[in-house]
Amino acid sequence: MKKDTILAVKDLYVNYYTYAGVVHALNGVSLEIYKGETMGLVGETGCGKSTLGHAIGGLLPNNARITGGSITLDGEELVGRSPEEMRIIRRDKLAYIFQNPAAALNPVMKVGDQIIEAIMVKENISKKEARERALELLKKLGIPEPEKFYKSYPHELSGGMRQRVMIAIALAKRPILVIADEPTSNLDVTIQAQILELMENLKKQFHQTTILITHDLGVVAQTCDRVTVMYAGTIVEVGSIYQVFKNPSHPYTQGLLRVVKFSETRSKLPTIPGTVPNLINPPSGCIFHPRCKYAKAICKKMKPELKEIENGHFVACHLYDNV
């Protein structure tokens, strides 16, 4: 069955211009997101996950530039759009759930009013209708006493409840794509599990398409349909959860999974040797080759392309057969 592509990123390059030099944050990233799926975007801090998420919605900082490539959302090209055009696209088609809801919410507005604002900015309905829809949404989020919750200010709520507000605001706009950037990293384990279960239930109810940006492979395994592994501004592996976790075919993915599978019976925590490269002056060829025990001469000279090694499973490695 043919899948509907909601988002297509093709050969995307993003640079940050700093006093120290030009940081090559994204280096030829290509990715497709299908309708109704949750795609996990994983990798170490600084790999480009959040940069990609911000580039999609036109939220890059002032010192960043898209220097090449294409981003198509629902058939509409986003690269080259003006800030005002991007604001309308974010209003109508995109929603973000950020890592820190306390910073994203207006501290002097009741949470119900903030949800209403998200609804009315897109749809021409009365405030009464918007309020009814907001309360219905809070009920679907499993919030007890939604009327009382509706009248609360952000500082009166726990971190988990504030994150529920962010999810409600995101869904209130009925976007075609939600980008969740580390939505549970500031929460304790119990609340994190509740939020992840909530997002999974909402996905079934609303058939929502989501990009989940995280460094936690356990979260990805629990909530995502597919996973994209990023390293130093490039995509090194893409596939279904089963494909990537059962048959990791890039040495970087293998290294990440070895750490996840570490048990107390081992005397030493497994690590990936070396450090993340300086993206002002990245290594030639495969950007992972300085840390890869399998690296050959070709890896130092030629950048590998993402190749399909089985149906829907892609890897960027010259030597994946041997890995």
Taking alpha carbons only, the member of 256, 259, 220 closest to residue 236 is: 256
Q: What is the pLDDT of residue 1?
A: 39
Residue 322 is predicted with a pLDDT of 57
Pairing of β 94-97 and β 76-77: unpaired
DSSP type of residue 281: S
What pLDDT shows up at residue 267? 58
pLDDT the model gives residue 264: 46
Model confidence at 86: pLDDT above 60: yes
* % of the chain exceeding 90 in pLDDT: 57
Encoding tokens for residue 240? 């279904």
Task: Give pLDDT tens digits for 24-62.
Answer: 999 999 999 999 999 999 998 889 999 999 999 999 999
5-93+175-269 maps to CATH 3.30.750.24: no
Instruction: Look up the pTM and report it.
Output: 0.90
DSSP code, position 305: P
Q: What is the pLDDT of residue 196?
A: 79
Domain boundaries, the chain: 5-93+175-269, 106-174
Rg (CA), the chain: 21
Dihedral of the alpha carbons of 52, 56, 62, 65, in degrees to the nearest 10: 70
Q: How is residue 108 written in tokens?
A: 């002097």
pLDDT in tens, 297-316: 999 999 999 999 999 999 99
